[in-house]
Amino acid sequence: MDLEPTDVFKRPDDADDSDKGYTLAQKMVGKACGVAGVRPGTYCEPRMTTVGSQDTTGLMTSQELEVSMSRLLC
């Protein structure tokens, strides 16, 4: 929606310095939150860019995609 960040919600903080790295999942969530990675217990509101589905062969999937697209276009 190209909206500027708001100060109404809490913003994610960078994790405390640690000698441990991040797992792939922590890096993926961190990237969506605009930080290098997240640690357990970290508050984060990720930017959603994709929709996943476990079953991509059925009628339900096509209906989900249709609803998603209609929301994007409205």
Give me 36's structure tokens. Answer: 């290098």
Could you state, in order of their start, the residue ranges of all structural domains in the chain?
A: 1-74
Is 32 buried (19+), middle (13-18) or exposed (0-12) by CB count in 10 A?
middle
Distance CA 16, CA 5 (A): 23
Tell me: the pLDDT tens digits for 4-21? 877 787 766 655 667 788
More confident: 16 or 40: 40
**Full-prediction pTM beyond 0.75?**
no
Residue whose C-alpha is closest to residue 48's, from 32, 68, 27: 32
**How many Cβ atoms sit within 10 Å of the Cβ of residue 41?**
6
